[in-house]
Homo-oligomer: A and B are copies of this chain.
Amino acid sequence: MLVATVLVFIMHLGFASLEAGFVQRKNTVNILFKNAMIIAIGLLTYYFVGFNLMYPGYNEGGLIAFSGFGLSMPEGTAGAIDYADGGYTYYTDFIFQAMFAATAATIVSGAVAERIKLEAFLIFATIFVAIFYPITGFWKWGSGWLETAGFYDFAGSTIVHGVGGFAALAAVIVLGPRSGKYTKNGIRPIPGHSMPLAAVGVFLLWFGWFGFNGGSVLSADPVSVSLVFVTTSMAAAAGAVGAFFTAFMLFKSHDLSMVLNGILGGLVGITAGADVMSPGEAIIIGLIAGVIIPISVVFFDKRKIDDPVGATSVHLACGVWGTLAVGIFGSKAGWGQLWIQLYGVAAVGAFAFTTAFGLMYLLKKTVGIRVPKEYEERGLDISEHEMHAYETSSERSEYNLTIK
């Protein structure tokens, strides 16, 4: 479990790299800044509020409950190993869940990149991680009403990725597209500034996903953990292949960003059912997730929903697909299960979308959420941080002049 926690932590580096690689050069410092702050804010707010809102320890089958601020160990366990039937300690439980918590906000940060105001985003992230993410988390993992209803979501296709994806969609709609993205002459592609950085991010996310899914077994049972490792890997690999062929058919090109997002789509897709699928079923789920990616990217782009990193396609579209797949494949499959899966993802999605939309709208009407157009053109690095992400060659010669 602790090893898994460490692996989940590295996912934050994965998200930071991926998002930094997919934005323009002039907004790189800004996205790194946001991702660094989200982890800090996520861990702290989860300590103060989130953990006790998500795992209050009472109100089973309910909608909401809260057992007070800060950490307080249950009586008699004293953080000891007898917590959770000896499977892990109270602190292990907290830190593993805390590493998850910031993920939902990180998903949003990629989708709203390159034009959102820094303060507005940090306020949004704080409230979202502190309150909204733990509430739907409680519904399922905290033994709330979705758990009682029989909804299945092993490691968070809905509870983590769906929540983040629906919130990202809401935020993008309120915020609007980047200027110059949708013109009279059609959709102007704005490619990311560093494909190596994006690729490093995807590999690190895959690496971390072993902790995300493997640790969600919540024990060190080697049979379950090893099956989860196999299904996770197979789905990611199949996602790459699915996206490769679909993108080639659609665009007649070998599109690296589609393959990278295909890997992530496969990982998101298998997350809900990683422990109830055979390796073969994992391949089918991942393959379909990979096919979904390019189609979803085109779908959102045609609707002028401008998402620089493809977060809605990866986390929302494939999160929904993975949640439904539990009702279609594997040991849980059945019409009844499919119905409750659909019901669950709709309920969680509606909550996440509505609250994120409302919060963004409120911020828009108060502090403002969008940087001035001149800031956007100059880039947020200079406008908001007064620095460049890279030293360019021209800057270099300038230095030499100054020295002489």
Contacts and interface: CB of A to CB of B under 8 A. Distances in A.
A233 interface: yes
A370 B322 CA distance: 40
Nearest to A14: B203
B92 A233 contact: no
What is the interface of chain A mostly: helix, strand, loop, or mixed?
helix
Interface in A367-404: 377, 384-394, 396, 399-400, 402-404
Interface in A1-60: 2-3, 5-7, 9-10, 12-13, 16-17, 20, 24-26, 28-29, 32-33, 36-37, 39-44, 47
Contacts of A16: 199-200, 203
Interface string A219-230: 000110111011
Interface residues of A, number: 107
Contacts of A384: 254
Contacts of A193: 390-391
Nearest to A257: B387
B13 A391 contact: no
A391 B256 contact: no
Contact of A403 (B70, B180, B239): B180
Interface in A151-169: none
A194 B390 contact: yes
Contacts of A190: 399
B91 A43 contact: no
Given A20-B196, A88-B222, A91-B226, A391 B25 contact: yes
Interface string A190-213: 111111110110111011001100
Given A44-B283, A47-B234, A199-B36, A222 B2 contact: yes
Interface of A: 2-3, 5-7, 9-10, 12-13, 16-17, 20, 24-26, 28-29, 32-33, 36-37, 39-44, 47, 70-71, 79-81, 88-92, 94-95, 98, 118, 179-180, 188, 190-197, 199-200, 202-204, 206-207, 210-211, 214, 222-223, 225-227, 229-230, 233-234, 236-241, 244, 253-256, 259-260, 263, 279-280, 283, 377, 384-394, 396, 399-400, 402-404
